[in-house]
Chains A and B, each alone.
Chain A
């Protein structure tokens, strides 16, 4: 496969001096960012670093937020949230079809999407009958069915157990390879970002402090020693040092 950087020329998302603030506190501080079409990007940061605010701005969900700057995003955008956000009163297939035209052709696409995430045969189940991982798969199917140009994911695996999370990583990467949307994955999990993304941005106090391209082939192993180098750089940018335990025995962000 040709290096991704050569295929990706047209930007899917473009931010110019994007600023957002809540109650006078600046959360995004004049962010400039281009995400080329089809790129798998991860956005890392501490809680409160502004990463969710950035995602919500791109998704167009920040109605009440004070801000300025320019933002270009594609027309077809799908969002996967941390919770699956399935409507408990609609069966799984009807949840996947929420927002589509509701004709036969859409239903068929919904079935295909469910099969793709490994939920074939569960079309008629209620969301409460699915496990946490299955619910999140259904949410992925719901976002796929709209054939998005841009997939925004806000810590989509944060609420899942570690084993399910590893399986979901592989699934997400597989889906991306098949459909090639641009992906912006917001996460606070450094390993998740390294294993999945081709480019990792670190956001700190509303600014992008590191923009890292991960030039390793997929699938990536969690044990790949070369990934360890990326890991160190990312943790340094996040202000976390693994080898120095803090007073209470936990590894924390260095005080400045």
Chain B
């Protein structure tokens, strides 16, 4: 394994701790005898910074070009600069700030509750047979019911104010977090449980050193799904009897045929969604730096 097969010092200065095998194939320009070509790496290669922004940038450029060439009906879809102008106006009015803050608050409350519930339930269900018997089936039943279908019932129970909106977001968030964390927990290698016994770990240390780190990869998958879910449900919820919020703003704009305002709303949803997802990815890469996968 510890071969130092004369890997040429091409760009390897920065990529520390690369696996010895595999990497030597890709950078191996020294010419291996008896082989004409070089075996191609199946991994997608080194990641360039900010590459995730290239796709959206191309899309924006196409949109701007089409608008400038009058290929798009401004009534159906406003030009990018009109959208920005409208955003500026709404911002100076102060209405946009209120709407954004209201939406953020709803998402944050719902997300926080869903996150806590998802993790707590997954741990209880993953670590005790009684917990599993009570929780796992119930959550899966809950998952089978479309959460947005619960809206009428929740309005009757919780009133038509903020509470029902936060409750729905919490449900949308906790389900993927629970499912993925629980799956990761039950997937922890039983050999590690045996190791914990041999090393004389107590239950708390076992959970801290083995269970939680072992379940983290699954938890992060759930976290990202939950995050997307919270934004998605917000769009729907804010069109039901809201007086502020991004969804409300867009709903109103529809009545006046203002596609520019609708696009401002969509743009902000998109920016928030992308930003929160990137933040989670960043944390994930830090926390799971021990993992060597296609992504790093």
Residues of A within 8 A of B (CB): 59-61, 77-79, 81, 83, 85, 87-90, 98-99, 126, 128-134, 142, 146
Asked whether B17 lies within 8 Å of A99 as measured between CB atoms, the reply is no
Among A79, A85, A132, which residue has its beta carbon within 8 angstroms of that of B1?
A: A132
B-chain residues with CB within 8 Å of residue A90 when the two chains form the complex: 209, 213, 290
A60 contacts across to B, CB distance below 8 A: 197
Chain A residues contacting B191 (CB-CB under 8 Å) are 81, 83, 85
State whether A79 touches B198 (Cβ < 8 A): yes
A78 to chain B, nearest CB (A): 7
CB < 8 Å neighbour of B290 from A77, A126, A134: A126
C-alpha gap A128/B292 in the complex (Å): 8
A59 touches B292 (CB 8 A): no
B198, A59: Cβ atoms closer than 8 Å = yes
Tell me the complex Cα distance, A90–B214, Å: 11
- Please determine whether A78 and B198 come into contact, CB atoms closer than 8 angstroms: yes
- What is the bound-complex CA distance between A29 and B255, given in angstroms? 85
Bound Cα distance from A69 to B216, whole angstroms: 42
Residue of A nearest to B212 (CB): A89
Query: Which residues of chain A have C-beta atoms less than 8 A from B288's C-beta?
Result: 89
Instruction: Name A133's closest neighbour in chain B (CB-CB).
Output: B1
Contact B210 A61, beta carbon cutoff 8 Å: no
Query: Which chain B residues border A126 with CB–CB below 8 Å?
Result: 17, 290
Least distance between A89 CB and chain B CB atoms (Å): 4
- B271 contacts chain A at the CB level, 8 A cutoff: no
Interface string of B192-217 (1 = CB under 8 A from A): 10111111110001000110011010
> B15 on the interface (CB 8 Å rule)?
no
A–B Cβ pairs within 8 angstroms, 16 of them: A59-B198, A61-B197, A61-B198, A78-B198, A79-B198, A85-B195, A87-B192, A87-B213, A88-B291, A89-B288, A89-B290, A99-B200, A129-B19, A130-B1, A132-B1, A146-B199
Q: Which residues of B contact A88 (CB under 8 A)?
A: 290-291
CB of B116, distance to nearest CB on chain A (Å): 23
Q: Describe B's contact surface by its main secondary structure.
A: helix
List of A residues within 8 angstroms of B209 by Cβ = 87, 90, 98
Complexed CA–CA distance, A138 and B148 (Å): 52
* Given the contacts A83-B191, A128-B290, A129-B17, A99 and B213 also touching, CB distance less than 8 Å: no
CB within 8 Å of A: which B168-223 residues? 191-192, 194-201, 205, 209-210, 213-214, 216
Complex: how many Å from CA A78 to CA B70? Answer: 77
Q: In the bound complex, what is the Cα–Cα distance between A8 and B290 (angstroms)?
A: 45
Q: How far is the CA of A207 from the CA of B259 in the complex (A)?
A: 84
Q: Which residue of chain A has the shortest Cβ distance to B288 in the bound complex?
A: A89
Q: Which residues of chain A are within 8 angstroms of B213 by Cβ–Cβ distance?
A: 87, 89-90
Q: Does B241 contact A (CB under 8 A)?
A: no
Supposing A79-B198, A81-B191 touch, asked if A131 and B290 sit within 8 A by C-beta, the answer is no
The smallest C-beta distance from A168 to any residue of chain B, in angstroms, reads 14
Give A63's nearest chain B residue, CB to CB: B197
Chain B residues with CB below 8 A from A81, complex form: 191, 195
Q: Are A131 and B198 in contact (CB under 8 A)?
A: no
For A59, what are the chain B residues with a Cβ–Cβ distance below 8 Å?
Answer: 198
Q: What would 7 more interface pairs be, CB under 8 Å, given A98-B199, A99-B201?
A: A61-B198, A85-B194, A87-B209, A87-B210, A90-B290, A99-B205, A130-B1
Q: Mark B13-34, 1 if CB is under 8 A from A, else 0.
A: 0000101000000000000000
Query: In the complex, what's the smallest C-beta–C-beta distance from A124 to chain B, in angstroms?
Result: 10
> How far apart are B205's CB and chain A's nearest CB, in angstroms?
8
Find A131's partner among B1, B199, B205 (CB 8 Å cutoff). Answer: B1
Please, how many angstroms separate the alpha-carbon atoms of A142 and B2 in the complex?
22
- Output the nearest chain A residue to B201 by Cβ-Cβ distance: A99
Contact of A98 among B17, B201, B290 (CB under 8 A): B201
Question: Which residues on A sit within 8 Å (CB–CB) of B2?
Answer: 131, 134
Residues facing A in B237-296 (CB within 8 A) are: 288, 290-292
Which B residues lie within 8 Å of A85 (CB)? Answer: 191-192, 194-195
What is the CB-to-nearest-CB distance from B291 to chain A, in angstroms, rounded to a whole number?
Answer: 8
How distant is A88 from chain B, measured CB to nearest CB, in Å?
6
- In the bound complex, do residue A61 and residue B290 qualify as a contact, i.e. CB atoms below 8 Å apart? no
Chain A hits for B195, CB < 8 A: 81, 85, 87, 98
Residues of A within 8 A of B291 (CB): 88
Contacts of B205 in A (CB 8 A): 99
Instruction: Say how far A13's CB is from chain B's closest CB, in angstroms.
Output: 16
Residue in B closest to A130 when the chains form the complex, CB atoms:
B1
Which residues of B lie under 8 Å from residue A61 when comparing CB positions? 194, 197-198
Chain A's closest residue to B292 (CB) is A128
For the complex, give the distance between the alpha carbons of A63 and B8 in Å: 53
